[in-house]
Amino acid sequence: MTIENIQNAIIDEFSMFEDWEERYQYMIDLGKTLPLIEEQYKTDDNIIKGCQSKVWVHANMSNDKVEFTADSDAIITKGIIAILIRAFSNQHPKDIIVANTDFIDKIGLKEHLSPTRANGLVSMIKQLKMYAIAYQTQLN
């Protein structure tokens, strides 16, 4: 599936819920399905800077695609990173780099986060794209 297809599926899923309490619960449930980072990668180097909570992200390259794993010490944040990883993991670096992130606005996530969590969301997206840039550089 392309990043856009995955993002559209996420938009459709969030549109099924009537209110943000249900959407938060769905995010928490998504966080429980997150491909967890191995303990050895829970280091300061893998912490997303700019997040209120601790969020660790690890990336590796397999078959010219970037695979992400992550974890967080906060359940909402874990749900947020789970959404991003679902959208960007197992994709070619060049596709991650140019991917649009409008789906975040379409599900209304940014407007329902505290300012510090919204900043953390931006930092997470930036870090995932930085990993993709690093891997794309290796491919060139």
User: What residues are labeled active site?
Assistant: 51
**Short-list 47, 40, 1, 27, CA closest to 110:** 27
Tell me which residue has tokens 């559209």: 8
Q: From residue 89, how far is each of 23, 64, 114 by CA, in Å?
A: 22, 12, 26
DSSP annotation string for 21-88: HHHHHHHHHHHHTS-BPPGGG-SGGGBPTT-SS-EEEEEEEETTEEEEEEEESSHHHHHHHHHHHHHH
Whole-number Å distance between alpha carbons of 103 and 135: 24
